[in-house]
Structure 1
Amino acid sequence: MFTNLLSKTASILFVCAILLFGCRSSNPVTDLTTPLAIKDQYIVTLKELPFGNARLSGTYEDRVSVMRQQATRLLSQIKLKPALVEQVYTSVMTGFSARLTAEQVEQLRQSPYVARIESDRLMVTTEPTRIDEAGARSSAKQEVPWGITAVGGPTSYTGNNVAWIVDTGIDLDHPDLNVNASRGKNFVTSGQGSTSLDDNHGHGTHMAGIIAAKNNTYGVVGIAAGATVIPVKVGHRFTDITLSTFIAGIDFVAANAKAGDVVNLSVGSENAAPADEAVLRLAQSVNVFIAISAGNTYNVTDANLFSPGRVNGPNIFTASAHDNKGVFAKVSCSGNPPIDFAAPGVSIKSTVHNGNYTFFSEGTSMATAHLSGILLANGGKIYGKGFVTGDRDGKPDPKASRVP
């Protein structure tokens, strides 16, 4: 079992060496090798702020304003319009994302303030599969989904911490959720999803319900029932999420979360080192508990090739998935490390957008949300209770539980 702190601490040294030193070359890098790369869209990491002895201090909004001014001025030196700047980063990295041509990238990389430039990319290409639009409404009897029962059942949450859902938003007025939209943030900059934190897709709301659906007389119930969930919207649809918006979401959480909060990351991508670095720095900067998907087998089977699930460190927990018989899910990536626990991830019913409920057929997204719910309910503690069968790598993952 790779769940103890010693294993995590040993692993983090290796990850830090790769991410924090291997990525910081004196020669900026432009990576267009991935088929998920977005044409003419880049992430720029700065060595330091270029102008006016500026400092990143004050509130999150203050730091973002300074960073945007710095990015705009830097681009203006090569006669680029300020509107080209999209996301800015002030906590887990210093930099910004922008739309640039290849020629403009070559100009920008000559700046002594630029550490590296890399292509932006899509994080995922495959939508989670839904299998049934169940008709639960406010008049329906409340049910406890099998996954909630499997991890030890629900408990009414009475603490002061929250769950940050970095995803497609959350249904802001879902009757079965306590959503604090005022603390959330939308990083979708164009199109339908840019106008609201509301979830028009369902994925983020589904995660929120597993974690914290209310214990009432209707719908479903979550593990840390009634806890507050905060939407950090990084995509309108699951397949819209980009590396630049994902990092922006992590950057926002790093600036606004408090110790003991839980961060749910049911999204990832094959070999995306900047995502790894952002999550690692989040873990290092704020004493939060982070639950991450081990990845689904659409492109890879080894969780060590999946970002940011492959990141190890204190308070970072990576989830594989199992079904209601404790069998390792065929869709789940495998690998120890980085996987810490398996959790329910097949035929999972939860809340979705428009005040509804439905099943998602399978995926490590739902397993991750179960870990998040346990972490929130238990103040960061997850128990292992038995092991999965049929684990692809021959090293059975312990099944996560809220109770010993």
Structure 2
Amino acid sequence: MPPACWLLVRSPPVEVLVVCHPAPQRRTGLASNPIILRDIDRGLVVRPQALFSCFYPRNIVRCAGALTKEPFSHQCSESSYMFKPHQLKWMGAVVLALAVSSCSVDAPTEASTSDDTTPIVRNGDLVPGQYIVAFNDYAVARKGEDLQALTHSARLELVKEAATGLTQKHALSAGAVKTVWGTAVQGVLMQLTDDQAAKLRQDPTVRYVEQDRWVTLPPFTVMGDADAQARPGGGGGGTQPAQETPWGITKVGGAVDATSSTVKAWIVDSGIDTDHPDLNVNKGLGRNYVTSGKSTVEDGNGHGTHVAGTVGAKNNSIGVVGVAAGITVIPMRVLSSSGSGQFSWSISAFDHIAANAASGDVVNYSVGPSSRYTLQSLDNAVTNVASKGIKVCLAAGNAADDCTYFSPARVNVANVYTIAAMNSSTAWASFSNYGGPVDYIEPGVGVKSTWLSGGYNTISGTSMASPHGCGIAAVGGFADGGTVSGVPAGTTTTWGKHN
């Protein structure tokens, strides 16, 4: 039986450890004999106090090169396994040999309840051998054809033809083409060597070639809400909490009934808890693009469900209420249960939305890099979706940096809204990205919303600010709410509310 493991985090400054102990039922044993396996920069539960908090991880513990998948558990309560700051002094000195001796590759493992086999990656890691290849219009269109006038399926066929010609011309395997896009991006995802990619960049039919990257959700900042633990629900019975209106919903003008609205909200994220009693989910329209584990739109992470609740949790007697209360939310799953995904998966989601969403629909994309890098293909996908009259809200990012250098937050065209974060005092959130592309500042600190297993959780980030904007866009658009204090120079000071 592998040791039980916890993510332990102290802030400020943020220090991250994975700590394991073979006898998790003994709190004193855990405190006296931690085994530090590795640092990790994703899937974290962070408390604002200078203390440790506890989160029992899924699929993120690497032990001597082997992956130990522990089932997710909510048994680690808010008050459990707390450490005082002075105890950190000796933690970092624990010898690596202890980790190896206590967690060997040959140790028997339990059957995992997780279907997530996404590898452990850092935000921005290149996907080996995987390239996004976009075509010039003339390479795809037949003579006299207007590509924009064609159906999505017709464009897909033309892109397939162009890709076939490209592979034959360069003597590439027919299996090199992995995914075909027709609308959001006019191109394909290919398996190539670096040399092959370099040659394709010189081909006159090719607009650009760029290597695919991994994206990983930033750390969750849990604000100590007792409802952060999963609550029985979603068809599982149990008592639901009485409804409350989160401060952010009140701030932007309160909930608007969108139950009968024809507008749909497409949530491009980690999926949605489709059985959550506080959400109106259309999983039939949803899609899964995560290539590992089961093909499902169900959220195994929590992030997407939280976003969906801020956009449109029902105005009923339980839980919380969203900006566009009761709106239909559609799960477009592009992040695994561990919070990681390839940007090509997001492009596939935007391609599907471009082909199937109606003008006036809204999209929330609270996903992006944690350090400076850009992808032309992702920016193009967002731009092309917005050109169809679909309103796209983007999280500005949590790096406290200029979002001009981050995709897709830097996109600055009609129908695209890059959203930064503020707190309940209408003051700038220090973690938020800033800069010219920011359109509005919305509530992003201590935001309560829906969570896994019919539960509720309070977390922070521009990921939480963006869905406030998405809800506003769904119910009529933005109005000037006032001025945010402490905003970095060159950034709008305006927070938005609905009309």
Say yes or no: TM over 0.5.
Answer: yes
Task: Tell me, in whole angstroms, the C-alpha distance in 1 between the residues paired with 2:230 and 2:285.
Answer: 31
* Per-residue deviation, residues 33-74 of structure 1 (Å, max 9, x unmatched): x96322211111112586995987876456546644653563
Q: Find out whether 1:144 has 2:245 as its counterpart.
A: yes
Amino acid at match of 1:305: Y
Task: Tell me, in whole angstroms, the C-alpha distance in 2 between the residues paired with 1:242 and 1:213.
Answer: 28
* Per-residue deviation, residues 3-30 of structure 1 (Å, max 9, x unmatched): xxxxxxxxxxxxxxxxxxxxxxxxxxxx
Q: Point out where structure 2 has 5 or more consecutive residues left out of the alignment.
A: 1-122, 234-238
8 Å CA contact 1:383, 1:400 repeated in 2: yes
1:135–1:128 Cα change, 3 Å:
closer
Q: Find out whether 1:254 has 2:254 as its counterpart.
A: no
- Deviation at 1:302? 1.0
Q: 1:240 maps to which residue?
A: 340
Q: 2:458 maps to which residue?
A: 359
8 Å CA contact 1:127, 1:238 repeated in 2: no
Q: 2:271 maps to which residue?
A: 169
* Per-residue deviation, residues 76-122 of structure 1 (Å, max 9, x unmatched): 55454444323321112211112211233245445443222111112
1:204–1:49 Cα change, 3 Å:
farther
Q: 1:99 maps to which residue?
A: 191
1:365–1:169 Cα change, 3 Å:
same
Alignment of 1:268-283 (within 5 A): 268-269=368-369, 270-274=372-376, 275-283=378-386
TM-score (norm 1): 0.81
* Per-residue deviation, residues 221-277 of structure 1 (Å, max 9, x unmatched): 111111001112222147422222222222221111111111111112333141222
8 Å CA contact 1:137, 1:219 repeated in 2: no
Q: 1:343 maps to which residue?
A: 442
Task: Tell me, in whole angstroms, the C-alpha distance in 2 between the residues paired with 1:222 and 1:109.
Answer: 46
Q: 2:482 maps to which residue?
A: 386
Q: 1:17 maps to which residue?
A: none
SS at match of 2:471: helix
* Structure number with bigger Rg: 2
How much identity, in percent, do the aligned residues show?
A: 38
Task: Tell me, in whole angstroms, the C-alpha distance in 2 between the residues paired with 1:277 and 1:310.
Answer: 11
1:191–1:320 Cα change, 3 Å:
same
| Structure ranking higher in helix proportion | 1
Compute the RMSD of aligned alpha carbons: 2.7
Q: 2:215 maps to which residue?
A: 123
Alignment of 1:136-215 (within 5 A): 136-137=231-232, 139=239, 140-157=241-258, 158-188=260-290, 190-192=291-293, 194-215=294-315
Task: Tell me, in whole angstroms, the C-alpha distance in 2 between the residues paired with 1:175 and 1:397.
Answer: 36
Using the TM superposition, name which of 313-322 and 43-52 deviates more.
43-52
* Per-residue deviation, residues 295-316 of structure 1 (Å, max 9, x unmatched): 111xx51122222222222222
SS at match of 1:258: coil
- Deviation at 1:136? 4.7
Q: 1:401 maps to which residue?
A: 497
Q: Point out where structure 1 has 5 or more consecutive residues left out of the alignment.
A: 1-33
Q: 2:14 maps to which residue?
A: none
Q: Using CA pairs below 8 Å that are at least 6 residues apart, which structure has the higher relative contact order? A: 1
1:348–1:240 Cα change, 3 Å:
same
SS at match of 2:446: strand
Amino acid at match of 1:99: Q
Amino acid at match of 1:375: A
TM-score (norm 2): 0.66
Count residues in correspondence: 361
1:38 maps to which of 127, 141, 149: 127
Q: Find out whether 1:330 has 2:419 as its counterpart.
A: no
Amino acid at match of 1:242: Q
Task: Tell me, in whole angstroms, the C-alpha distance in 2 between the residues paired with 1:178 and 1:385.
Answer: 28
1:150–1:102 Cα change, 3 Å:
same
* Per-residue deviation, residues 330-370 of structure 1 (Å, max 9, x unmatched): 110122x221211110111111222221111x211111000
8 Å CA contact 1:134, 1:359 repeated in 2: no
